[in-house]
């Protein structure tokens, strides 16, 4: 790993920290804001339920396709400039998504997926490189931001659509404000750190002189599969938990509020777990805790009692936040170099989001076949067991460059 910036700390790099926070705020909210206004989108664009379902799947497939190529782009442009171009693309995508017909909506969604994929992959590696002594703290900060704004995206989307005559277009374009702020702050970071950029380019060239094949690393596969099943749980929850809660007797409004509660419950764990994980040589106990939380929370989903369902929603939220942030931390601490980290992050997210894309489809298929949401709950319990199986091995004290 580069040693030139070992003294960078959060308390003397506030512009970079705030910029990262705003960047992180745009990596989930533009996606979670779609679901609550999907009925208005369907009516406005004249599309059916099947096509509407594709709108939520496209970004995940784009993540899976684009992620492996991010490391090549960063070697050419550096991590800082890659993030800069990704924010530009994200702003353009958010604009295209709301200015035209269905075709432009699809184009905007694809471009949005590409921009977010770059942000998802580069941020863990940038944190490892720029804040090598505070990886856990910074991972916690941006992970917590992603989950908090994801909750805001879901919770604010429908109310925003009712404020003006712009409807869902205001809800989906609202996050352009955060992206513009992120871009302006990042421009300051890039311009004021010319030496930093030159060293980044030089450092990446040095690190890539010793190449390794990430695909041949068993550890990389374990990290990728852990990422995959935690992402499968997340997107299955976002897609189907409101329907499960309605089946348990709740109205649609209450189901939406509980989904938002689930998102907000993730925030504390996304901040705490990376700090703990970065201080441990092995993270196996954290995987055990996460699995217990998942199993306990999903077990309460079988209940018809509102208090039990609320407790279950909160517990699963704690598990989801802990698991997501642990995966982000593993991308950093399971590699010796920033080059290794970005390779692991790209590979892990490529495999992970491909698996994630299958989740909502399989849950829906299970319900159609069995006509019961209990099988969907059992499927999410099985996903939790897979997180334990692969996460336990991924938590061993090894590095992908050594395999």
Dump pLDDT digits (tens) for 176-187: 999 999 999 999
Residue 386's domain spans which residues?
10-402
Overall number of domains in the chain: 1
Give the tens place of pLDDT for each residue, 185-227: 999 877 665 456 556 555 545 444 455 688 889 999 999 999 9
Residue 4 has pLDDT above 60, yes or no: no
Maximum Cα interatomic distance, the chain, rounded to a whole number of Å: 61
Helix and strand element counts for the chain (H, E): 17, 0
290-324 confidence digits (pLDDT tens): 999 999 999 999 999 999 999 999 999 999 999 99
Q: What pLDDT shows up at residue 37?
A: 84
Residue 4 lies in a domain: no
CA atoms of 320 and 269, how far apart (whole Å): 8
Q: Residues, the chain, total?
A: 403
Tell me the pLDDT tens digit for each residue of 330-354.
998 998 887 788 889 999 999 999 9
What's the pLDDT tens digit per position in 111-142?
999 999 999 999 988 888 888 888 889 999 99
Q: Is residue 1 part of a domain?
A: no
- In a domain, residue 179? The reply is yes
Assigned token pair, 45? 């664009």
For residue 120, which of 337, 399, 328 has the smallest C-alpha distance? 328
Look at residue 93 and tell me if it is in a domain. yes
Task: Please indicate, yes or no, if residue 314 is contained in any of the structural domains.
Answer: yes
Confidence grade of residue 1 (pLDDT, cut at 50, 70, 90):
very low
Q: Provide the pLDDT confidence category of residue 150 given band limits of 50, 70 and 90.
A: confident
Q: Is residue 322 part of a domain?
A: yes
- Whether 261 has a pLDDT exceeding 60, the answer reads yes
Measured distance CA(265)–CA(263) in Å, rounded: 5
Convert the pLDDT of each residue in 357-394 to its tens digit: 888 888 888 888 898 999 999 999 999 999 999 999 99
Q: Which residue has the higher pLDDT, 197 or 106?
A: 106
pLDDT tens column, 80-103: 889 999 999 999 999 999 998 899
Q: What is the mean pLDDT of residues 217-246?
A: 91
Average pLDDT, the chain: 87
| The pLDDT of residue 260 | 83
339 vs 107 pLDDT, higher one: 107
- Establish if 2 belongs to a structural domain: no
The CATH number of whichever domain residue 108 belongs to comes to: 1.20.1250.20
- Entry pTM: 0.84
- CA-to-CA distance for 329 and 321, rounded, in angstroms? 12
Residues 271 and 366: their CA atoms lie apart, in Å, by 34
Decide if 364 is inside a domain: yes
pLDDT at 110: 96
Looking at residue 151, what is its pLDDT?
83
Measured CA to CA in angstroms, residue 65 lies from 58, 60, 243, 377 at distances of 11, 9, 30, 29
* Tokens, residue 143: 């992970």
CA separation for the pair 139, 118 (Å, rounded)? 16
Residue 316: partners with Cβ closer than 8 Å, 6 or more residues away: 237, 262, 265, 293, 294, 297, 298, 301
């Amino acid at each position: 790993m580069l040693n030139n910036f070992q003294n960078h700390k959060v308390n003397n790099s506030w512009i970079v920290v705030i910029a990262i926070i705003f960047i992180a705020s745009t990596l989930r909210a533009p996606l979670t804001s779609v679901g609550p206004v999907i009925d208005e989108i369907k009516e406005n664009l004249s599309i059916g339920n099947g096509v509407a379902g594709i709108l939520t799947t496209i970004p995940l497939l784009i993540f899976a396709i684009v992620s492996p190529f991010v490391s090549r782009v960063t070697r050419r442009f550096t991590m800082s400039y890659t993030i800069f171009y990704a924010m530009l693309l994200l702003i353009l995508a958010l604009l295209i998504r709301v200015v035209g017909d269905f075709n432009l909506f699809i184009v905007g969604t694809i471009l949005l997926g590409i921009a977010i994929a770059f942000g998802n992959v580069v941020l863990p590696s940038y944190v490892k490189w720029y804040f090598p002594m505070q990886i856990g703290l910074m991972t916690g900060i941006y992970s917590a931001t992603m989950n908090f704004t994801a909750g805001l995206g879901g919770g604010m989307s429908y109310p925003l659509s009712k404020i003006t005559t712009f409807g869902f277009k205001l809800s989906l374009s609202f996050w352009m404000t955060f992206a513009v702020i992120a871009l302006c702050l990042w421009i300051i970071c890039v311009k004021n750190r010319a030496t930093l950029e030159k060293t980044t380019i030089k450092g990446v060239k040095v690190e890539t002189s010793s190449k390794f094949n990430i695909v041949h690393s068993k550890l990389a596969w374990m990290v990728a599969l852990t990422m995959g099943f935690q992402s499968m749980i997340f997107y299955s929850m976002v897609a189907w938990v409101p329907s499960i809660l309605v089946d348990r007797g709740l109205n649609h409004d209450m189901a939406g509020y509980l989904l938002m509660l689930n998102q907000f419950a993730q925030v504390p764990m996304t901040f705490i777990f990376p700090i703990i994980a970065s201080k441990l040589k092995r993270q196996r106990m954290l995987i055990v805790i996460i699995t217990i939380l998942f199993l306990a929370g999903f077990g309460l989903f079988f209940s018809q009692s509102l208090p039990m369902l609320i407790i279950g929603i909160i517990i699963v939220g704690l598990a989801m936040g802990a698991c997501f942030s642990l995966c982000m931390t593993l991308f950093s601490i399971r590699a010796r170099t920033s080059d290794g980290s970005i390779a692991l992050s790209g590979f892990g997210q490529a495999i992970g989001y491909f698996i994630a894309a299958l989740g909502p489809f399989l849950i829906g298929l299970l319900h159609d076949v069995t006509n019961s949401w209990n099988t969907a709950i059992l499927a999410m319990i099985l996903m939790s067991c897979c997180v334990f199986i692969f996460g336990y091995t991924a938590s061993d004290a090894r590095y992908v460059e050594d395999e």
